[in-house]
Structures are given as C-alpha cells and as structure tokens.
Amino acid sequence: MKYLIILISLLYSNILLSQSADDCMSNLSIFAEYYKVKNYDSAYEPWMEVRKNCPKINVAIYTYGKRMLENFIKESLKKGDEGVADAKKYQQDLLDLYDEWLINFPEYRGRKIVGEIISNKAQVMVDYKLASNQEIYNIFNNAYTEDRSSFDDPKPLYNYFKVYFQLYKEGSVTMEEIFDKYEEISERFEEVIDGYSKQLDIIIKKEESGQKLSSRESSNKRAYGINSTASSTYLKNLNAIIAKESTCENLIPLYRKNLEENKANPVWLNRAASRMDSKDCSDDPLFVELVELLHNLNPSANSAYYLGLLNDKKGNNQEALNFYNESIELETDNIKKARISYKIATKFKNTKQFSKSRSYARAALDYQPSMGRAYLLISNLYASSANNCGTSQFDKRAVYWLAAKEARKAASVDPTIRRTAVKTAESYEGRAPTKTDIFTEGNAGAVISFKCWIGLSVTVPSL
C-alpha cells in the first residue's frame, strides 16, 4: 500500500509538471503572437505568467518584455499627471526585468552579455532620471568591470562617460581622473568601431573581387554600417564633452606634474603623448620627453610614429620617413596600420607632397578597404591640383572628374562619412566641364591624360 501511494504521488507530480510545461509553452505562444501585432495590453497577462513561472524558457521574455514596458511607460507619460504613477510602476518593473534577465539569461548564443544587460539597466536610469549620478555611474562601472567585451552599445558607453563628467563638474572627480576615464572609454569606442570595420572590410574585398554578395552579407553590410555610424557619432559627442578641458593649457601642467611617477608606465606615456599630439601640443618640450621615454621603455608603432613626428618638426625628412615606416612595420593590426598610414598621408598632404600622400593613403586602403577618409584625402589631393594639371582650361577642370570619383568611392565604402563624401563629390562634379563645354569642345569620349604627379587619365563623358 505504501509503494502504491508513492507511485500515485509520482504520477500526479509528473502530470502537474507536464501541465505546467504545457501552460508555459501556451502562454509563451499567446504572448508572442500578441506582441508581434503590437497588442501589448493583451500580451501583458500571459507574459507575466511566463515571466513568473518559467523565467528560463525563452529570452523573448526579456527582449520582448523590455520593449513592452518601454511602450507602457511612453503611453503612461502621454497622460500627464494621471499617468505618472503608472509610469513609475513600469519604470521600476523595467529595472526589475533587467535584474531577472541577468539571473536567467547572462549568456545568449554562447556569448556572455552581462555587461550589455547591466549597462542597459543603467541607461534606463539615465533616461528616466531614476537615481543620482553617482549611483548610475556605479552601475555603469560595474558593467564595464564585470564584462567589458559586451559593453559595446554606443549610447550607454557614451553616457558612462557623460555621467562621470557630470561628477567631475560637481567636484567629486579630479581632472586627472576625468582624462583617464576619457582615454579608457574612447579606446573602447575605437575597439568597437574597428570591429565593425574589420567585418566591413571582408565584405568590401569580396565586392571588389567581383563576387556577388549573399542576402545575408548584404544585410550584414548594412547593419555594420549603421552600428559603425552610431558608434562614430557618439564618439564625436564624447570628444565634444571633453574639448574645453583637453587644451594644451590644461594638459601640459597635468602631465608634467604626473610624469615622474609614470616614467615606467607605457600605457600612461602613450596616452599622454597621443592626447598632446591630437591637441597640437607637440611643440612643447614635454612631448619630446614623453616620446623618448616611451620609445626607450617600450619601442612600439606609436612611439616610432611620434619620433617620426619629432623629426618632421626638425626638418629631418628622411629620418622622419624612416620612423613612420618603422611604425607601420611594428604594428600588427591592419586597422591600426591603416590609421598610421592615413596619418602619414595627412602629414605629406600638409607639406604639399601630394604623390607621397597618395601613396600612403592607398596603403591605408590596402590595410582597411572601408576607410573612406583615405579616398576623400585622395579626392582632395586631385582637386587641389586642378590648376597645375592639364594644358587647357577644359583639361584642368577635367581633374575634378577624378576627384569626384574618389569621393564617390568614399561614400560607397564608409557609411560614417557618406553624407560628407556625397556632398564633396557633387561639389567637384559641379566644377568639372559641363555638357555644354563638352559639346563646344567636341571631345565626348576622348581620353585626357594628366602628365603631372597624378599620372592618370580620364574619359570625357559621352553626351
């Protein structure tokens, strides 16, 4: 009899478990169907049942639930004072949802997403002003220290710094600390952007080889472009926040004060030299000290580049070029090789050495085909040479066709500068010979060769 009771109990428990599992799947299906047609009111009850009784059944509980709660908050706030209480309730529930998400789905498709979840929770607190700057910063910082690799959403990453900057303005963070945090987060932004660039480069190389992209590759190309543009925009906003503080007047005494204790710190030396270079403080003797210390301590692509810069300023052109080339050779990452090559190209452009500038710009594109800035630089080189190339006025203006072509290439490979590149191309096309000019010259279809440093030719468009 005893065993019969146990058997009946086990069977009953299994039936209950089966019913519970069936209820979970049923509620999940109902909630998902209502969600897809944006009937959030009807989706709410089955969603809450799933969320309460089977929180690990599907990540949609959190991804869909987040959007539903955001919609409820938005609709509540539209009601004015009447909706404030409901809005606060949903805001708190959204924070609770992120906590549950962290417990039940800290990984997704084999990737840890702890940093993403925690930083998005902090972003909610920013959006709805739910805590003090210090509290919000602490949560952002927890996300960054716990899981830096998945903390890559540009908006929370930007606000991580912005909240810290507000603490600096309030007086609870020093100038030294704000610069350190700026360097840290801007480097993270560059890592994220570089990651998208590497993915884009693979796709662009395939396109340039004449191969057709699959629908998935085309979709990924758009997604990488959108994400890269968003990250670049937020990085520009980040730079704008710190711009008034990061002047030579502030940087030089700060770095001078901290130099002694950081003489053996290559990260600090590199960041200090980088910031002084980007802010045109490299004429100060401190920059020379930083570069020499950095190169003696840890010869690297960056230190070699800075030594090239110093020799450039002294007029030691060949020595500068040697260090620039050494910088490229020492670097192992193609994106960073491209960045160095582009910097060198810019230096040569500024000294009117256009042929050398183009060579390094092309080298940058070999390393990073998605670097639209390099195409724009070449475009500008051609446009700047219009009056010096060609024997007739028509031929001189024809150079703008070459310039416009390079600008169009920039627009096609780099979504972060597409708008600027298109405007540049249109501007150059407006300076090129018109259809009336071509008709008057009677040279439609003719090939014009440029004997100057450009060394290329262009075919006059047919009418």
3-class SS letters over 412-454: HHCHHHHHHHHHHHHHHHHHCCCHHHHHHHCCCCCEEECCCCC
**pLDDT band at 298; cut points 50, 70, 90:** confident
Asked if residue 451 is part of any domain, the answer here is yes
Taking 70 as the threshold, does the pLDDT of residue 4 lie above it?
A: no
Position 360, amino acid: Y
For residue 369, what pLDDT is reported? 97
For residue 342, what pLDDT is reported? 96
Please report which helix (H) or strand (E) contains residue 459, including its range. Answer: strand 457-459
**pLDDT band at 391; cut points 50, 70, 90:** confident
Asked if residue 113 is part of any domain, the answer here is no
Percent of the chain having pLDDT more than 70?
96
The number of domains in the chain is: 2
* Boundary residue ending a domain (105, 124, 159): 105
Residues 206-258 have pLDDT tens digits of 999 999 999 999 999 999 999 999 999 999 999 999 999 999 999 999 999 99
Which residues share a beta bridge with 102?
A: none
Structural domain including 417 reads: 371-463
For residue 21, what pLDDT is reported? 74
Position 367, amino acid: Y
For residue 176, what pLDDT is reported? 92
- Of 179, 126, 180, residue with least CA distance to 153: 126
For residue 60, what pLDDT is reported? 96
- Residue where the block lists tokens 């498709």: 109
Cα–Cα distances in angstroms (integers) from residue 422 to residues 169, 342, 427, 434, in the given order: 39, 21, 9, 19
Residues 412, 428: contact at Cβ < 8 Å?
no
CA angle (93 as vertex; 89, 99 as ends), nearest 5: 155
* Boundary residue ending a domain (54, 81, 105): 105
For residue 276, what pLDDT is reported? 93
Asked if residue 446 is part of any domain, the answer here is yes
For residue 12, what pLDDT is reported? 41
Asked if residue 434 is part of any domain, the answer here is yes
- Who contacts 409 (Cβ-Cβ below 8 Å, separation ≥6)? 372, 375
Asked if residue 303 is part of any domain, the answer here is no
Asked if residue 287 is part of any domain, the answer here is no
Asked if residue 162 is part of any domain, the answer here is no
CA atoms within 13 A on the CB side of 138: 5
Query: Rounded mean pLDDT of 110-121?
Result: 97
Residues 163-211 have pLDDT tens digits of 999 999 999 999 999 999 999 999 999 999 999 999 999 999 999 999 9
Asked if residue 172 is part of any domain, the answer here is no
For residue 165, what pLDDT is reported? 97
- Who contacts 339 (Cβ-Cβ below 8 Å, separation ≥6)? 364, 368
Q: What is the DSSP string of 115-142?
A: HHHHHHHHHHHHHTT-S-HHHHHHHHHH
* Boundary residue ending a domain (105, 120, 148): 105
Q: What is the DSSP string of 72-98?
A: HHHHHHHTGGGGHHHHHHHHHHHHHHH
Proportion of the chain in helix, strand, coil states, percent, rounded to 5 = 80, 0, 20
